Amino acid sequence: MKLTLESLKSVGAFTGRPVEKEITWKQGDKELTATVFIRPLGYQAAISDVNSLNGKQDSLAGRLAASVCDESGIPVFTVDDITGAADPERGALDGRLTVALLAAMFEVNNAGKMKSSPPSTSSSTSSRSRSAARSRKPAKG
């Protein structure tokens, strides 16, 4: 394939529009629900990842800031909004809200499928500890 905008478009190499998701989280005694838009991982997330590798920002905050947007694709948060650095009095984004946003981001980028843990396997060989491998015969004396 020749690398052109058309060939890339035909194979789905562009992320497209943000995906609308509904999230729910507990804030104190209340259960809150909100509609959010999640941008599929793309250029913005790649730049965020590079900044994280270079120690310039927190990796999860960078991913959230790159992914959570409005319906037009404009980011809702900056990394500093999420970590609390933008306004120390306001503080960091609530933990339960953060988890709800991360779950929505995971669903969008994994087509809504939660991967199950791989099945556990048992080995056909058994391993005995050194003490078990030693003879259990009483010492002659």
pLDDT digits (tens, 9 = 90+) for 8-31: 888 888 878 899 999 999 999 999
* CA–CA distance, 134 with 114 (Å, rounded to integer): 47
Inter-axis angle of helices 95-109 and 59-67, to 10 degrees?
Answer: 60
pLDDT tens for the chain, 141 residues long, are 999 999 988 888 887 889 999 999 999 999 999 999 999 888 787 788 787 777 777 788 988 998 999 999 999 999 999 999 999 999 999 999 999 999 999 999 886 655 554 554 544 544 454 444 455 555 565
- Owning domain of residue 70: 9-112
20 domain-assigned: yes
Specify if 4 maps to a domain. Answer: no
Spatial distance between the Cα atoms of 6 and 98, rounded to a whole number of angstroms:
37
Task: Domain count for the chain, please give it.
Answer: 1
Is residue 137, in this structure, part of any structural domain at all? no
List, in sequence order, the alpha helices (H) in the chain: 5-10, 43-53, 59-67, 79-83, 95-109, 130-133
Q: CA 45, CA 59: separation in Å to the nearest integer?
A: 10
